[in-house]
Amino acid sequence: MRLETSLHRIRLVHFRVHTLTIFRPGRKEMKTIDAASDLPESSLRSRRKFLKETGLAVAAGAAVLVGCAPTAPTPEQVIKEVEVTRQVEVEATRQVEVEVPQEIPASPWQYVELDVEEVRKRGHEGYYRGDCCFGAFVGILEALKDKVGFPFTQIPAEMMGFGAGGVSGWGTTCGALIGAAAAINLVTEKDLARKIVSELLGKYSVTPFPSETSNNYAVNHEFLVTEYKSDKALPQSVSNSPLCHVSVTEWCKAAGIASKTPERAERCGRLAGDVAAMAAELLNANLAAAFVPAFQFSQEAQGCMSCHTLGDNFAAGNFIQGKGECLSCHEPHQ
């Protein structure tokens, strides 16, 4: 599309110099200078200069004529006309607006403080649209989209649908964590993002889900959905793991409720909101002051990880990558 506006400016510069000299017997001189001008400021000097020069030239000529008058034949009539005319400048400025695609800014994009409870409700509602990973992601993304607009309008949130059920049903990382982690990384650079995401996984592992806040929203119908999979206050459980498989199984066991039920789905919907809210809390805190991790593993796990960690000594047990509550999967050894 091309938008056009035109600015036209016409400048008229016009001046005229007449020098009329008529000699008649007895008369010495009659001179008329007629200057009419309409000049821009910058031209004044040259006009004056011109007048001066031509004027002087004429005067000099006249002086000579007059000087010669006593000895020369008196002219019957001398008409000198110096006419400098018509300087017409037409300036037409045409302004053409050309639309060019706006480039996305460099990463990370600017985060603005979000209302944690709004994010919780958005995350829960997002779960109803696209499950846990999508839900937690849009809990933050769509809040930023509504508050900031571009560039958050450019992300197709549907790309995070894959994370549902611990990555497409495999029960690996909790999808809500993946969605929230992507949102965190969208607004924080890599190294900081990893610290905040690691903190999120730690807090997740030790937090009872669904939160009391979410349970209350459901009971009071304060979430953004109109029909609830369940509007009961649901049992809580702590997973001690960021894995979907562990998190869901622990909840099912704690609640005595099977995994393919409206209650379990609602539990994961509330958890998606809770995880998005937890991420927003961490991001808000990071806006206020430089982020400082607070999560600590159990003494037992720290004991395991004193040897079994990322390191360069294979014989010492540095052959692993990862962290967590080791004993939730492994038997301890002496």
Segment 218-237, which members bind a copy of itself (CB under 8 A)? none
Q: Are 218 and 270 in contact (CB under 8 A)?
A: yes
Q: Which is nearer to a copy of itself, 216 or 259 (CB)?
A: 259
Residues 201-220 that bind a copy of itself (CB under 8 A): 201
CA-CA-CA-CA torsion sign (266, 268, 273, 277): positive
Q: Residue 244 Cβ, how far from a copy of itself at the closest point, in Å?
A: 6
Is 332 a binder of a copy of itself (CB under 8 A)?
Answer: no
Residue at token pair 């206050």: 233
Q: Indicate which single residue of 40, 169, 296, 300 sits in contact with a copy of itself (rule: CB under 8 A).
A: 169
DSSP state for residue 237 in the 8-state scheme: B
Is 50 a binder of a copy of itself (CB under 8 A)?
Answer: yes
CA-CA-CA-CA torsion sign (293, 297, 303, 304): negative
- The span from the CA of 204 to the CA of 179, in Å, is 13
Is 275 a binder of a copy of itself (CB under 8 A)?
Answer: no
Q: Residue 32 Cβ, how far from a copy of itself at the closest point, in Å?
A: 15
Is 36 a binder of a copy of itself (CB under 8 A)?
Answer: no
Residues 90-149 that bind a copy of itself (CB under 8 A): 90-104, 106-109, 130, 134
Q: Are 277 and 123 in contact (CB under 8 A)?
A: yes
Q: Residue 156 Cβ, how far from a copy of itself at the closest point, in Å?
A: 4
Q: Indicate which single residue of 33, 35, 69, 224 sits in contact with a copy of itself (rule: CB under 8 A).
A: 69
Q: Residue 278 Cβ, how far from a copy of itself at the closest point, in Å?
A: 15
Considering only CA atoms, give the Rg of the chain.
43
Residue 143 CB contacts under 8 Å (≥ 6 apart), including other chains:
114, 115, 118, 119, 122, 280
Q: Are 203 and 174 in contact (CB under 8 A)?
A: no
- The span from the CA of 175 to the CA of 117, in Å, is 20
Is 163 a binder of a copy of itself (CB under 8 A)?
Answer: yes
Q: Indicate which single residue of 162, 224, 225, 235 sits in contact with a copy of itself (rule: CB under 8 A).
A: 162
Q: Residue 15 Cβ, how far from a copy of itself at the closest point, in Å?
A: 9
